[in-house]
Amino acid sequence: MTVKILPSDLAFPTLNEDRAEIRILEVQPGSSGSQIHCKFHVATLDELEHPYETLSYTWGDENEATKVTIWLDETPVPVARNLFDALKRLRMSHEPRYLWVDALCINQGDDVEKTWQVSMMHRIYSQCQQCAIWLGALGDVDVFHARAAVDTICWFAESRGKPDWMEDDLARDYAAKALKTLINLPWWSRIWTVQEAILPSSATVYWGPCDISWDVMRRAADSFFDRSSREIPGEFGANNGTIDLQCAMRGLAFTRKESLFQVLWRWRFRQATDPRDKVYGLVGFRRDTSLPNVKTCDYTIDVRTLYQRVTADLIRISTDLQPLIGRGGEVSEIPGLASWAVDWHGVRDDSKRSTVNFWEHHRRWHGLGCTADKGLYGVGDGLKVEGDRILCLHGLQIDRISVVEDRSKGNCVEDYESVSSMFLTSGGRWGKVITEFQEKCPGQLPDNWMSAFLGLIAGKLVPQEPNHGDRMNDWMENMVRPQALFITESGRFGLGPRNIQPGQEVWVIGGCRFPVILNRRAGGVKDDGFTFAGECFVYGVMRGEAVEGRSDEQREIKLY
């Protein structure tokens, strides 16, 4: 039976924000086929009198027609099927179970209450007795195969011996498929489940009738570093199930120690119904992940303003422009978002996503020793932002793009077996770029153009230090392959986002170790500002060579 109720039909017990009060759901005992009856209790996080568990789950289908009724304080309440299944699975037969469930314990129709309740998520999950992680019903997976997947994880973690059925080829195949299904269920792709998994001191994972300790899953993921691949039956590696498990669990482990900037990037492509939750689901989950001008939760501001404030605050925290890097020219789908602000919601259309890897650019920001902005005013504590939208910086134009390698044929990134195969595959395109430049700008190629070209392709960007830089294979695989070669009007060779165009300007900006590509606004009027296209790598300017002797020419620019 489904019942549509008005918010006024359910009497939510009043909460006192000053006392950090929350509602706890008492799930009353019952048999497996009986109706689910619950009632509210009010508790204060400052003086907890009764232990409670938190429920971590995905909201699932919110269509009214698919909802199922539970009884809450004698009122019929329609809930999503996935929540109903979770409560049914967790309900005990002879004693009540006390849970905190966001969809029921927060009045979702009251944005004011929702804001301050969500801002306490850190405390709610940190102070719970344990977290019950509900992955969902088994669906099409046979219960025996699901239990076999759990047995396999326990064996990997060395909490159980090797299952007897592991000697059966068909049983291994079914178990491997079930493990792959388990680790790719929707729960793993939601933004809120990041902190819900990290904050509790203890957690149990429930999948249909199966359950397993979160700590066992963590130890299973860690075990892959300690055991030979020959010890893992091939079926579990062939479908990447073990890799998925390792990535999911270790990614969450890394998050415990990473900076907020890294955390936001790591989970950028997790899902959220409200794009603001891509920030609120992560900001403040640790004591050191707060931002000076962004509240832990505030649903009264729009997503555009939120993302701009977050990016500006990250710049203030890092005291440089590191938060601008790693997007590879990706254009936001959020109307009106400033070009310099990171779209934490991410581009939903895979064909429009950047081909660059943020982490590769992040690593080189810290590891290459680049100081392209040496001699310019940085950002530091004096970052100036006008109206949450205009970033005021100091910079120096050093060049303009003349020709660009054509990387428009799809969004795919070629696979290369070796450096020589990359030259064989890409050499024709690179040669075409050089020929086009010679025809467009006769006599502008410098005498050392071959050294500049090869240095750029090999990752040796500093002329006076030809041995400095990345390992060639690593640079070509992770930096050359995903980007586009360009030549500037003065004959400089560079790498930048695949969507850059001739006429865009190359600048060095104070606070940015890499040169950047900017678009001049409003038909080229000098003081009408710019938009940000992405960072780039230019041979011969990465150590401040382009600024030397010209620092007095820097001027304030405005990024929109």
User: For the chain, what's the residue count?
Assistant: 560
For residue 209, being part of any structural domain is answered with no
Q: Are residues 333 and 398 in the same domain?
A: no
Closest CA to 473 of 454, 493, 495, 458: 458
Phi, psi torsion values for 379, nearest 5 degrees: -100, -55
Q: Write the CA distances from 234 to 183, 229, 230, 239, 241, integer angstroms.
A: 17, 9, 8, 9, 11
Ordered per-residue pLDDT tens for the chain, 560 residues: 333 444 446 889 999 999 999 999 999 999 988 999 999 999 999 998 889 999 999 987 667 678 899 999 989 999 999 999 999 999 999 999 999 999 999 998 888 898 899 889 999 999 999 999 999 999 999 999 999 999 999 999 988 888 999 998 999 999 999 999 999 999 999 999 999 999 999 999 999 999 999 999 999 999 887 665 457 888 888 899 999 999 999 999 999 999 999 999 999 989 998 999 999 999 878 877 788 888 888 888 999 999 999 999 999 999 999 999 999 999 999 999 999 999 999 888 877 888 899 999 999 999 999 999 998 988 876 799 999 999 999 999 999 999 999 987 644 556 666 667 777 788 889 999 999 999 999 999 999 999 999 999 999 999 888 888 788 889 999 999 999 999 999 999 999 999 999 999 999 999 999 999 999 997 655 667 999 999 999 999 999 999 999 989 999 999 99
For residue 298, being part of any structural domain is answered with yes
Q: How many CB atoms lie within 10 A of CB 1?
A: 8
Beta strand 493-496 with 505-509: parallel, antiparallel or unpaired? unpaired
The H or E element containing residue 245 is helix 241-255
Token reading at 309:
């404030």
Q: Are residues 390 and 336 in the same domain?
A: no
Q: Are residues 264 and 350 in the same domain?
A: yes
Q: Are residues 394 and 344 in the same domain?
A: no
The order of strands in the sheet holding 68-72 is 75-79, 68-72, 37-44, 21-27, 97-100, 53-56, 130-136, 203-207, 210-213
- For residue 530, give every residue at least 6 positions away whose Cβ sits within 8 Å of its Cβ, in sequence order, or none: 505, 518, 519, 520, 521, 557, 558, 559, 560
For residue 342, being part of any structural domain is answered with yes
SS3 230: helix
Q: Are residues 317 and 439 in the same domain?
A: no
Q: How many CB atoms lie within 10 A of CB 423?
A: 14
| Terminal Cα distance for the chain, rounded | 53
For residue 548, being part of any structural domain is answered with yes
Name residue, tokens 């009122």: 75
3-state secondary structure 269-315: CCECCCCCHHHHCCCCCCCCCCECCECCCCCCCCHHHHHHHHHHHHH
For residue 248, being part of any structural domain is answered with no
Name residue, tokens 């793993």: 188
- Tally DSSP H helices, then E strands, for the chain: 17, 18
Q: How many CB atoms lie within 10 A of CB 368?
A: 19
Single-letter amino acid code for the residue at 104: L
Q: Are residues 474 and 527 in the same domain?
A: yes
- Could you give the CA distance from residue 279 to residue 290 in angstroms, rounded to a whole number? 11
Q: Are residues 347 and 459 in the same domain?
A: no
> Alpha carbon 134 to chain centroid distance?
22
Q: Are residues 455 and 320 in the same domain?
A: no
For residue 449, being part of any structural domain is answered with yes
For residue 148, being part of any structural domain is answered with no
- Could you give the CA distance from residue 150 to residue 175 in angstroms, rounded to a whole number? 9
Total number of domains in the chain: 3
What torsion do the CA atoms of 395, 400, 403, 409 make, to the nearest 10 degrees?
Answer: 40
Beta strand 493-496 with 484-488: parallel, antiparallel or unpaired? antiparallel
- Could you give the CA distance from residue 476 to residue 482 in angstroms, rounded to a whole number? 9
Q: Are residues 350 and 389 in the same domain?
A: no
Catalogue the E-assigned strands of 484-546.
Answer: 484-488, 493-496, 505-509, 516-520, 530-535, 537-538
- Could you give the CA distance from residue 238 to residue 234 in angstroms, rounded to a whole number? 6
Residue 215 half-sphere exposure toward CB, CA atoms < 13 A: 6
Which DSSP symbol is given to 350? Answer: G
User: For position 223, what pLDDT does the model report?
Assistant: 87
* Domain C-terminal end among 332, 354, 376: 354
One-character DSSP codes across 377-424: ---GGG-EEETTTEEEEEEEEEEEEEEE----S-S-----SSHHHHHH
- Could you give the CA distance from residue 216 to residue 220 in angstroms, rounded to a whole number? 6
> Alpha carbon 8 to chain centroid distance?
37
Q: Are residues 277 and 403 in the same domain?
A: no
Range of the domain at 47: 1-128
Would residue 410 be called left, alpha or beta, if left means φ above 0 and alpha means ψ between -120 and 50 degrees?
Answer: left
* Domain C-terminal end among 336, 354, 372: 354
For residue 219, being part of any structural domain is answered with no
Read off the pTM. Answer: 0.89
Q: Are residues 395 and 451 in the same domain?
A: yes
Residue 412 half-sphere exposure toward CB, CA atoms < 13 A: 5
- Could you give the CA distance from residue 14 to residue 46 in angstroms, rounded to a whole number? 17
* Domain C-terminal end among 95, 128, 161: 128
Q: Are residues 424 and 555 in the same domain?
A: yes
Single-letter amino acid code for the residue at 81: R
